[in-house]
Amino acid sequence: MSYTPIEIDRKNLTIMGVNFSSVNNFEATVNALGTVMFEGFDPTPKSIEIISDYLADNITIEQLSKLTKEKSYAQAAEGNVIKSTSLRTASGESHA
């Protein structure tokens, strides 16, 4: 398994093109990614988006758990289709 660098833009608070709402959430995610990537996790823009949504309180821990179990963070590769899951909060907001 080899290390694949990811795009981190500290000036614009983005990771793989995903914007973060605060410096604290951004830095926490960058630090956590360093650890889990060392252990073999290969982040995708969708996985970063899910993390960002959770840290910004846009999805609950239950929704995060469901997305993780369904592997909704998977990215299309070589013609495979991205698994898309849409979650709705109690207020009716959709979270993909």
pLDDT, one tens digit per residue, over 6-59 is 999 999 999 999 999 999 999 999 999 989 998 888 899 999 999 999 999 999
Closest by CA to 25, choosing from 33, 95, 5, is: 33
Local confidence band at 3 (pLDDT 50, 70, 90 cut-offs):
low
pLDDT at 57: 94
Q: How many CB atoms lie within 10 A of CB 91?
A: 5
| Cα-based distances in Å from 26 to 3, 4, 11, 47, 93 | 21, 19, 11, 14, 24
Exposed/middle/buried for 28, CB within 10 Å: 0-12, 13-18, 19+? middle
Mean pLDDT score, 80-84 = 36
Local confidence band at 67 (pLDDT 50, 70, 90 cut-offs):
confident
The string of DSSP codes covering 63-77 is: HHHHHHHTTTT----
pLDDT at 62: 95
